C-alpha cells in the first residue's frame, strides 16, 4: 500500500487551479483580440463612410455651383436683352416679339434651375441633398474616435492580461478586464452612438 504525500496533493491542486486560471486568461485574451478586430473594422468603415459622404457632398456642391452659374448667365442674358429692347426704338414689332420670347425663355430657365422637385436636381433640392450628405458625414466622423479608443483599450487589455498569465498577478488581470470592458463600451458606442 502506498501512502500519498499530502504536499503533493496540495501542489497538484494548486497547479490545476493555476492552469485553469491561465486557460481563462488566455480565453479572455482571445476574446479581446476578436473585439479588437471588430473595432478596427468598425473604425475603418466609419472613416470610409465619412470620406464617401464628403465626396458626395462636394460633388453635389459642384453641381449646385454649375446650376448657379447657368442661372446667372440666363439672368444676365435676359437683363441685357431687356435693356437693349428698351434702348432700341427702331426694331420692328416682329423683332421685338422675338426678343420678348427669348427673354421669357431665359426667365423660365432661370426659375427652372432654382427648383426641380420632379427630378430632384434644382438648386433648392441640391442644397437639401448636400445637407443630408454632410449630416451623414458628420455622424460617421463622430463614430470614428470611439473605435480608436476601443482599439487602444483592447490592445492595452490584451497586454495586461497576457502579462498576468506570465506573472500570475491578479491585479493585472483585473486591470485588463476593466480596460477591455471600457473598450467594449467604446466600440458599441462607435456603432450605435449612445453618447455623442
Indicate the pTM of the whole model: 0.80
pLDDT tens profile 10-65? 567 778 888 898 999 999 999 999 999 999 999 999 999 999 999 999 999 999 99
| C-alpha to C-alpha distance for 169 and 71, rounded to whole angstroms | 73
Between CA 84 and CA 68 the distance in angstroms is 24
If one looks up domain 25-192 in CATH, what number appears? 1.10.287
For the chain, the structural domain boundaries read 25-192
Please state, as a whole number, how many other Cβ atoms lie within 10 Å of the Cβ of residue 103: 18
Place of cell 478586430: 37
Determine phi and psi for 92, rounding to 5 degrees. -75, 160
pLDDT band at 7 (very low <50, low <70, confident <90, very high): low
Amino acid at each position: 500500500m502506498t501512502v500519498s504525500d499530502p504536499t503533493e496533493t496540495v501542489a497538484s491542486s494548486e497547479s490545476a487551479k493555476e492552469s485553469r486560471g491561465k486557460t481563462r486568461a488566455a480565453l479572455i485574451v482571445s476574446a479581446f483580440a476578436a473585439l479588437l478586430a471588430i473595432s478596427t473594422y468598425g473604425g475603418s468603415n466609419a472613416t470610409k463612410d465619412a470620406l464617401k459622404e464628403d465626396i458626395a457632398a462636394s460633388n453635389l456642391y459642384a453641381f449646385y455651383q454649375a446650376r448657379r452659374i447657368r442661372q446667372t448667365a440666363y439672368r444676365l442674358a435676359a437683363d441685357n436683352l431687356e435693356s437693349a429692347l428698351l434702348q432700341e426704338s427702331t426694331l420692328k414689332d416682329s423683332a421685338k416679339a422675338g426678343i420678348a420670347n427669348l427673354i421669357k425663355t431665359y426667365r423660365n430657365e432661370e426659375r427652372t434651375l432654382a427648383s426641380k422637385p420632379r427630378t430632384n436636381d434644382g438648386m433648392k433640392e441640391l442644397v437639401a441633398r448636400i445637407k443630408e450628405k454632410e449630416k451623414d458625414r458628420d455622424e460617421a466622423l463622430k463614430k470614428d474616435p470611439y473605435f480608436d479608443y476601443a482599439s487602444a483599450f483592447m490592445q492595452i487589455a490584451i497586454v495586461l492580461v497576457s502579462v498576468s498569465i506570465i506573472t500570475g498577478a491578479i491585479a493585472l488581470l483585473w486591470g485588463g478586464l476593466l480596460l477591455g470592458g471600457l473598450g467594449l463600451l467604446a466600440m458599441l458606442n462607435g456603432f450605435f452612438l449612445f453618447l455623442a
